[in-house]
Each structure stands twice: as C-alpha cells, then as structure tokens.
C-alpha cells in the first residue's frame, strides 16, 4: 500500500474490502464512472489504452507501491483508462466516496497520492520514450523485470499473444525475443507460465529505462 503514517493507513484499511483476483480481471473500463479505487497487495494492475478495433496497449502498471484513482485525485470521476489485473493476487477495494472523503480530510493521504501521481506519470513518460528509442528485446526485458519485481518473483501467466498486445508489437516478434531470452537462460516459459530466472542477465538485456523508473519510484514512494 501507499507509504502512509500508521493513523492514515488504519483509516484507509478500515474502509477497504480485501479481494483476490485472477489475471485478466477487468476493474474499470475507459469512460465509465469510477466507483472504487484499488490498492494492490500482491496483484499487479495495468492501465490500458483501448482502441476501436479491440486492441490494447499498456501505458503503466501499478503494484503495491501505488493505486488506481488518479482521475479522482485530480477531481474527475470518469475513467481515463481501462484497468485490468495482469498478475493475479490480492488487492484492497476502497469505494470512491470513502476515497474522496479521505482525500479531503487527511493531508498525509493527499500528499501520498500526489507522490503516486508523479511516479505513475513518470513511468508513462519513460515508457513512451522507450517505445520510440529501444527495440523489442530491450522493451520486453524491461517489462518482465518490472512485473517480476512487483510479483515478488512468482510465476507469471503471460502468453505471447498477450505480451504482443501490451508492447504493441507483432506476436512473432515476441516469440522470437522470448526464445532468445530463454535460450540465454534469463527466463523460462511453458504453457503460458513465465519466470525470470536470471535477473542480472535480463537487466543487461534491458535498457536504462528500467533503472530510471525504479529509481523514481524508490525516491517518490519510499517504503511502500
């Protein structure tokens, strides 16, 4: 959860419902009214851009250091993105009305949320630059490292088709790169389950964007 003083944390927790969600669970659709905010514990959420042909591309992913609800924090109740579970696990659901009340009543909660906005927006900006500057191997390596960190090293249910959608590249490109990373001993995958087995090697295959985002999160959201 957000890095909060204990009193603020308790105020949030007493108003939350604990959920256990499978991957691909849709939490919000773009354009709908936001009725709840989600704080991941072991789950990871992706904020997705959706297009008329049904395709999706990930803009940011959210782990236990942050939460959804950027639009509510900024005074809008309409979803700017779709939100979907990408790594199954637990998360806390806070009704929008309680979220807005805490935002108005608790300066520490509001400060933590604005730090979260800074961190997530920085991730979005770096991801946009990365998509133009780096190749599919670097981008896939960076994405897998980020998910690995937030999933605490668990097996991840990730198909090549899904990864191609998240990265905005052809499925054949993902298959080629994933095979290379597997043959080099950085990952294993079988039947839609992928595991990072050599974090250092995968980090070398990635680009500097991974470290930039990780450093920003550690600075803005310490001890989350």
Q: What are phi and psi of 38, to 5 degrees?
A: -120, 135
pLDDT at 47: 95
For residue 220 the two structure tokens come to 């803005």
Helix (H) or strand (E) holding 200: helix 199-205
pLDDT at 158: 86
Taking the chain (224 residues) in runs of 10, the rounded mean pLDDT of each run is: 89 96 94 97 92 87 93 94 92 97 96 94 94 95 92 79 89 96 95 91 96 94 70
pLDDT at 153: 63
The model scores a pTM over 0.85: yes
pLDDT at 159: 87
Neighbours of 120 (CB within 10 A): 25
Q: For residue 39, how many C-alpha atoms fall within 13 Å in the half-sphere facing its CB?
A: 22
Task: Return all residues near 99 (Cβ < 8 A) that are at least 6 apart.
Answer: 36, 37, 69, 72
pLDDT at 155: 78
């Amino acid at each position: 959860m957000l890095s909060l003083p204990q009193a603020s944390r308790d105020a949030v927790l007493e108003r939350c419902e604990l959920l256990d969600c499978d991957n691909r669970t849709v939490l919000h659709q773009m354009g709908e009214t936001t009725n709840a905010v989600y704080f991941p514990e072991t789950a990871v959420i992706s904020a997705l851009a959706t297009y008329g042909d049904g395709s999706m591309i990930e803009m940011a992913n959210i782990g236990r250091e942050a939460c959804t609800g950027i639009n509510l924090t900024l005074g809008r109740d309409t979803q700017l993105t779709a939100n979907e579970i990408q790594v199954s696990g637990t998360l806390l659901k806070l009704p929008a009305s309680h979220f807005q009340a805490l935002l108005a009543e608790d300066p520490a909660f509001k400060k933590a949320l604005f730090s979260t906005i800074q961190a997530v927006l920085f991730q979005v900006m770096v991801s946009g630059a990365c998509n133009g500057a780096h190749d599919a191997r670097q981008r896939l390596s960076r994405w897998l490292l980020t998910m690995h960190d937030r999933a605490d090293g668990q097996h991840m249910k990730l198909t090549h088709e899904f990864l191609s959608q998240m990265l905005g590249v052809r499925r054949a490109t993902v298959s080629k790169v994933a095979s290379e990373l597997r043959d080099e001993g950085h990952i294993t995958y079988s039947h839609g389950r992928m595991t990072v087995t050599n974090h250092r090697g995968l980090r070398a295959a990635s680009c500097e964007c991974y470290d930039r985002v990780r450093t920003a999160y550690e600075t803005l959201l310490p001890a989350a």
